[in-house]
Amino acid sequence: MRKGRDPLRPQDVEREPMSIVASIRNAIPPIHPEGHKFIAIFAVATFVIGWFIDPLFWIGLALTIWCALFFRDPVRVTPVLPGLVISPADGRVSSIGMAVPPPDLGIGSEPRLRICVFMNVFDVHVNRAPVTGRVSRMAYRAGKFLNAELDKASEDNERNGLVFELADGRTVGVVQIAGLIARRIVPFVREGETLVVGDRFGLIRFGSRVDVYLPAGSVARVGVGSRSVAGETVIADLSGEGAVPVVRIA
């Protein structure tokens, strides 16, 4: 008779620690490569200063952890139903209303529905395409570093604009605006590239806002003060019709 095998096999014992490690690894969001050098700088400075002044080590360690979290780039599940506009940024919806797009976008001087998402220094700062389309224009403009929540920041602050041309010819403008602490807007794409909704297109260091200018007939699906998740939260409907799927908003 064939002998039965012990239900607790040696290979199962060996796999158990690996599954725990995998679970921990999966719980930690990946870090965008743009942040590696900054995390390294924070870490080295922490050990050097902490070697001479012990209390400062713990402060530096906390700042290093914050830096790593700042550059986190979690996986997102993006709704792909036609007509939906997905949030390009994590953060709080700070403004919804009609506004004239910046002239450098080249999408006309008629007011459009504008939805602004403000990112604080604890939000994910990787920005994602709100729609599927070709990047028909990119326009960078140097400027000031005012508080990004101020309305005049859209005119005075350093910014980088992208125009997404949809399959039907309509356009959606997206403007990355540097803030009080932010000192650089980092683009990941070039003019002429075609992006799918949810694709990463840039990052802003260290905290600011993203404005979305929508074509006529669009309807906002979020309210001022609500939280949005880049690549997941539906912020508007281009058709003004249809049900919006239930998606994560915080």
Q: Which residue has the tokens 């802003």?
A: 204
Of 133, 200, 122, 199, residue with least CA distance to 163: 133
Q: What is the CA radius of gyration of the chain?
A: 22
Give kind and range of the element (H or E) at residue 58. helix 54-70
208 is a catalytic site residue: yes
Name the 3-class secondary structure at 226: coil
Residue 214, both tokens: 């929508």
Phi, psi of 18 (to 5 degrees): -65, -40
Rounded Cα distance between 235 and 198, Å, is 13
Catalytic member of 87, 154, 208, 218: 208
Q: Would you please indicate which residues are annotated as catalytic (active-site) residues?
A: 208
